[in-house]
A and B are shown apart, each in its own frame.
Chain A
Amino acid sequence: MEKAVTHIPETVAPPAFIRREGVPLILFALLLLAPFVARFFAESYLLALFSRTMIFAIAALSLDLILGYGALVSFGHAAFLGFGAYGVGILAAHGVSEASLQLPLALASSALFALVTGALSLRTKGVYFIMITLAFGQMAFFLAVSLAAYGGDDGMTLPSRSRLFGFDVLEDDRALYFLILLALLGSYLVSRAIVMSRFGRVIRGARENPQRMAAIGFPLFRYQLTMYVIAGTMCGLAGFLLANQTGFVSPAYMTWQRSGELIVMVVLGGLGSLHGAILGAAAFLLLEEWLSGFTEHWKMIFGPFLVLVVLFARGGLLGAFRRLGIGGAR
């Protein structure tokens, strides 16, 4: 996953480079520095908060691939979080806590679910696509609820975090933090490579004008399905990390409300820019954490905030930044 294939043209002048790459650079620099700053405060709490934020950033990033670039609004994306998490949980329940077994299972089951449901869902368009993905998401949710052997609705506690080739390095919160950061960076770079490749351009072309792309002779269905599977698998990775970070696996990870929150994160940050999804996830979760510290009724502030973002900040937070002259073009 960590192939650092970037397509940054090397001849770009510094101002343009900063304008173009400023937001993601700042984001990752902050995330890299965060643990060192956290040492002076409530370390394990802050690490947990930022780890959780990055995990949802990976999930939102993967959703942005299909939602922002493919205009395919999946309302069942949280199901992949669940598949990833249950990949850890089910093996752990049978005494297997080895990441080199859990991760492949988590990713493969997410990919398979994406392949099957994607193949069926992509027959529909627009709102119907939203609803059929919701249907599959709900089926996955109820499936998890009915898994009585694995805790059913209550979920189950993991005996330990995943072990890396027999070593329990991830028991350390900082180690887990850097693994998650690495996974986020890897997902981001891979996603960038994908959207800038010929494959990614076809997907974007299909967003603007599907008839034309089909007429040129691209097998759109296969392209979109591939993207759907990539996105699902990446979200499965987020699920794997979420299970490890919380030490807990639950159907609550795959409710339709969670899928809705992922959409909200992507739109809040700014569609179709990848780092916008990261920004959106961070804004959503950190605002939630911050506001709920003030008042039990924080949703009365957060709700109108979302409405105001839509009404006045077109293009989400990134759009607002851009108008303020921070951050560059897509």
Chain B
Amino acid sequence: MSLTLLYVQTLNGLQLGILLFLIAAGLTLVFGVMDFINLAHGVQYMVGAYLAAMFAAMTGSFFLGLVLALASALVFGLVLEFLVFRHLYSRDHLDQVLATFGIILFLNQAVKLIWGAAPLSVPIPDVLTGSVRLMDGLLYPVYRLAIIGSGLAIALGLGILVSRTRIGMLVRAGATNAPMVSALGVDIGKLFMIVFGFGAMLAGFAGAMVAPVLSVEPGMGDNLLILTFVVIVIGGIGSVRGAFIAAILVGLVDTLGRSFGPALLAAIMNPSAASQAGRALAPMLIYILMAAVLFFRPAGLFPVRK
């Protein structure tokens, strides 16, 4: 019984990890290649979810909605890039923090004005509504398998894109030494624009994919943003592989710690103290993990060599 539960919880941990990776992938690219702290990544994820909700309701089809949401997330990202971000690439991190903080304030309010403050939802597409039986009395929705599948596909695709293609080579080179790439005659402005647009689209994709599972509401990206930063920092900024492994690690530590931590603590202290300590520690776990990783490896697990 308890072993089954362990398997199920491990699966849940993997699933949370993949969800985090979906959001972190775009951020680590933008951060790594452009050395740009984009606090607005979380609101771009939110906008993706809202767009998916709107288009899915308009067209009546989740997949059509997804495609339209992706396209408009890309356009939206490029507009943001044109208006704000491209003027900030050469600025220091703090200017970027201030400007993207302003964008967060604006967009969180804007979605409330456009779509209302009440949470929205997107129905699960019909072909993916089934479920598999995991254990006695517990079903696992096929849609969640689809999320896991799409996360793995993105991880694989990005891996190939970054390590095997010319644009990937430029991206890697840009992450290591952007001025040198520029000196070699590559239009760095265009490269940055492509990477940024791509990152925005990935954020939008993550938002659209989770919309059938999580509630779509103003500010939904704010707390995830911090989790995402935790993931890319543990992984090593700019490393897609690092982000993937760190996301899985964070997902597992969080889920397993939450579900088995109190029981483990109860083995070494009295039950009420264990439950107290468990409750206090559970939300801190991933931050403790990050602090520990950075203590031993100050540039993350897979540092990109500079």
List A residues at the B interface (Cβ < 8 Å).
67, 73, 120, 123-128, 130-132, 134-136, 138-139, 142-143, 145-146, 148, 256-257, 260, 263-264, 267-268, 271, 297, 299-300, 302-307, 309-311
CB distance from B90 to the nearest CB of A (A): 11
CB distance from A153 to the nearest CB of B (A): 11
- Interface of chain B: mostly helix, strand, loop or mixed: helix
Of chain B, the residue at the smallest CB distance from A295 is B109
Does B298 lie at the interface of the complex (its beta carbon under 8 Å from any beta carbon of A)? yes
Question: Can you list 14 A-B contacts with CB-CB less than 8 angstroms, sorted by A residue number?
Answer: A127-B37, A128-B233, A128-B299, A131-B229, A132-B294, A135-B287, A135-B291, A138-B284, A263-B97, A267-B95, A267-B98, A302-B102, A303-B102, A306-B98
Residues on A with beta carbons closer than 8 Å to the beta carbon of B93 = 73, 126-127, 130
Whole-angstrom distance between the alpha carbons of A148 and B277 in the complex?
A: 12
Q: Is the CB of B237 within 8 A of A127?
A: yes
Residues on B with beta carbons closer than 8 Å to the beta carbon of A299 = 105-106, 108-109
CB distance from B192 to the nearest CB of A (A): 17
CB distance from B215 to the nearest CB of A (A): 20
CB distance from A119 to the nearest CB of B (A): 10
List B residues at the A interface (Cβ < 8 Å).
31, 37, 39, 84, 87-88, 91, 93-95, 97-99, 101-110, 112-113, 222, 226, 229-230, 233, 237, 276, 279-280, 283-284, 287-288, 290-291, 294-295, 298-300
Q: Is the CB of B233 within 8 A of A300?
A: no
CB distance from B247 to the nearest CB of A (A): 15
Of chain B, the residue at the smallest CB distance from A311 is B87
Closest 7 CB pairs of A and B: A306-B102, A303-B106, A303-B105, A146-B280, A135-B287, A310-B99, A299-B109
CB distance from B44 to the nearest CB of A (A): 14
Residues on A with beta carbons closer than 8 Å to the beta carbon of B37 = 127
Report which of B95, B98, B106, B284 forms a contact with A304, defined as CB distance below 8 A: B106
CB distance from A45 to the nearest CB of B (A): 25
Q: Is the CB of B101 within 8 A of A135?
A: no
Of chain B, the residue at the smallest CB distance from A302 is B105
CB distance from A38 to the nearest CB of B (A): 29
Whole-angstrom distance between the alpha carbons of A303 and B105 in the complex?
A: 5
Of chain B, the residue at the smallest CB distance from A257 is B222
Q: Is the CB of B229 within 8 A of A310?
A: no
